[in-house]
Amino acid sequence: MPPEQTSSASDGQNEIRVLVVAPTGRDAALLCQALSRADMQALECRSCEAACLELQRAGAGTLIIAEEALSIADIQRLAELMSNQPAWSDFPLILLTLSGEVTVQSQRRRLVRAPLVRALELERPIRPETLISTVQNALRARHRQYEIRDYILQERNAEEALRRSEKLAVAGRLAATIAHEINNPLEAVINLVYLARTSRSQKAAREYLERAESELGRVAAIASETLKFYRQPNRATETQIPEILRSLLALYRDKIAGSKVELRTDFKDVPPIVAFGGELRQVFSNLLTNAIDAAAGGRIDIRLRHARDRSGRKGVKVLVADTGPGIPESVKSSIFEPFVSTKATRGTGLGLWVSSEIVRKHGGSIRVRSSSKPDLHGTVFCVFLPQVPDSTQPRAAAS
Ligand SMILES: Nc1ncnc2c1ncn2[C@@H]1O[C@H](COP(=O)(O)OP(=O)(O)OP(=O)(O)O)[C@@H](O)[C@H]1O
Ligand SMILES: [Mg+2]
């Protein structure tokens, strides 16, 4: 089938032209003349094989082919082409059949071309008006298919751009977190080095330097945790969820303390799962920062369990619960959609959308329960990830 993308004006012209295969006598020339008189662009092809190659190379609006030009190999080639079309395409094929009574030969010919069931059949002799209106209908149908294709491409590009912008937003947030996290130990190091330099006691100076060394170790750990975020393999690998959660908690330690949040963790031993570690880090980073934003002065519980989903698949379940005010009713039903945020300029509203896409890609599910009742407020996000990715049962739900 023709290439999926239109990249130049000439490709656009190719996509609406009519390919014609009619090897007997002057049939092809007459057909092309009739089509160009009706303002349609036609290209005569020597054989069915040549037409198929042309179609794959540059596309076409429709193909008119005379029955006698079709060998069994041609029929197979065409049938294969028709069944390998992208989802948006239903290429219109017009078959010019031989006229005459129903005979054993004509029945046999019909059986041979059975794989081309979707072709429009026109019996010769054809009136020029019938030919023109059939081709025009075919081109109109093809045009609608191109519109669907372009719409799908636009959607795909827009989604990709959103995903990229979320990655940048994550990078920005992370850069700010890192600057913040690194600042404290660095200030401590500067002080400790000063104390060591001015100390009269060698023993005290050594102690200052040892403490400075351990603070620098923290700086190095923060830097390497961050790098892990971005250096991810391009295929799913064995991933330790507890490791991801612990490294995120270390990264957000000061943010949690700064928000006066009490953190409780309960991690059971779980087997590794096959996943894209960097992406899952993004999911849990977003759930955790959302919980920290919501739970200032309250509590966050993070629980990790070995679990099965409703269809019995083995995997892991991560629960992130906070005692914050709950998800505002105004956004509750749309938090998994892009650009839904109540954080004004502090949030992009892409976090949960990207998270749900990532979980869906891993064949898992993400669910949320949230309440704003005065005596019972809080939010619980529950992520299930199968041990081995399987994208057949994606789910994202709010209640
Ligand atoms: N734990 C939570 N408690 C209360 N509300 C929440 C919680 N998690 C999400 N929300 C609500 O859902 C909205 C969407 O969250 P999402 O993570 O997608 O975007 P965001 O946090 O606003 O921005 P960002 O793209 O920077 O993550 C939030 O703005 C908030 O209103
Ligand atoms: Mg968020």
Q: What is the pLDDT of residues 78-120, one digit of tens each?
A: 999 998 999 999 999 999 988 766 667 767 777 777 778 788 9
- Work out the angle between the directed axes of helices 351-361 and 128-198 (0-180°, nearest 10): 110
- Output the CA–CA distances (angstroms, integers) from residue 214 to 166, 207, 209, in the order listed: 34, 11, 9
With 80 as the cut, is the pLDDT of residue 179 above it? Answer: no
For residues 280 and 363, what is the distance between their CA atoms, to the nearest angstrom?
Answer: 12
286-336 tens-digit pLDDT? 999 999 999 999 999 999 999 999 889 999 999 999 999 999 999 999 999
State in Å: Cα 18 to ligand 2 middle. 52
State in Å: Cα 353 to ligand 2 middle. 9
How crowded is the C-beta side of 70, counted as CA atoms within 13 Å?
25
Quickly state the pLDDT bin for 274 (edges 50, 70, 90): very high
198-233 tens-digit pLDDT? 999 999 999 999 999 988 988 887 777 766 666 666
State in Å: Cα 173 to ligand 2 middle. 10
Q: Order of strands across the sheet with 376-386? A: 262-267, 299-308, 314-322, 376-386, 365-373, 395-398
- Nearest listed ligand to the Cα of residue 335: 1
Mutate to test the pocket of ligand 1, among 288, 343, 356, 358 (most ligand atoms within 8 A of CB): 343
State in Å: Cα 362 to ligand 2 middle. 20
Residue nearest to atom 5 of ligand 1 (CA): 327
pTM of the model: 0.58
With CA atoms as reference, report the closest residue to 339 among 328, 350, 331, 329. 350
With 70 as the cut, is the pLDDT of residue 371 above it? Answer: yes
89 by Cβ neighbours in 10 Å (0-12 / 13-18 / 19+) ranks as middle
28-52 tens-digit pLDDT? 899 999 999 999 999 999 999 999 9
| pLDDT value of residue 181 | 67
Residue nearest to atom 28 of ligand 1 (CA): 341
Phi/psi of residue 86, nearest 5 degrees: -65, 165
Secondary structure (3-state) at 235: coil
Residue nearest to atom 6 of ligand 1 (CA): 327
Mutate to test the pocket of ligand 1, among 341, 345, 380 (most ligand atoms within 8 A of CB): 341
| pLDDT value of residue 218 | 80
97-108 tens-digit pLDDT? 887 666 677 677
| pLDDT value of residue 375 | 83
Percentage with pLDDT > 90 across the chain: 55
With 60 as the cut, is the pLDDT of residue 10 above it? Answer: no
Q: In the numeric block, which tokens belong to residue 376?
A: 């019972």
Q: What is the DSSP letter of 42?
A: E
| pLDDT value of residue 391 | 47
State in Å: Cα 321 to ligand 2 middle. 14
CA-based radius of gyration for the chain: 32
For residues 34 and 64, what is the distance between their CA atoms, to the nearest angstrom?
Answer: 13
Quickly state the pLDDT bin for 4 (edges 50, 70, 90): very low
| pLDDT value of residue 102 | 66
With CA atoms as reference, report the closest residue to 112 among 79, 90, 85, 84. 79
- Nearest listed ligand to the Cα of residue 340: 1
Pocket of ligand 1 (CB under 6 A): 169, 286, 290-291, 294, 322, 324, 326-328, 331, 335, 340-343, 347-353, 379
| pLDDT value of residue 393 | 40
State in Å: Cα 218 to ligand 1 middle. 29
Residue nearest to atom 12 of ligand 1 (CA): 335
With CA atoms as reference, report the closest residue to 306 among 361, 386, 366. 386
Residue nearest to atom 27 of ligand 1 (CA): 351
- Output the CA–CA distances (angstroms, integers) from residue 349 to 78, 159, 162, 343, in the order listed: 48, 14, 11, 8
With CA atoms as reference, report the closest residue to 388 among 287, 309, 302. 309
- Output the CA–CA distances (angstroms, integers) from residue 376 to 192, 332, 369, in the order listed: 47, 17, 12
- Beta bridge partners, 370, equal 379
State in Å: Cα 290 to ligand 2 middle. 5
With 80 as the cut, is the pLDDT of residue 16 above it? Answer: yes
For residues 296 and 270, what is the distance between their CA atoms, to the nearest angstrom?
Answer: 30
State in Å: Cα 341 to ligand 1 middle. 6
Mean pLDDT, the chain, rounded, equals 86
CB 78 within 8 A of CB 55: no
With 50 as the cut, is the pLDDT of residue 5 above it? Answer: no
With CA atoms as reference, report the closest residue to 65 among 51, 55, 54, 80. 51
For residues 143 and 12, what is the distance between their CA atoms, to the nearest angstrom?
Answer: 11
Residues by chain with Cβ below 5 Å of ion ligand 2? 286, 290, 351
Region 132-139: mean pLDDT is: 96
CB 388 within 8 A of CB 271: no
Secondary structure (3-state) at 115: helix
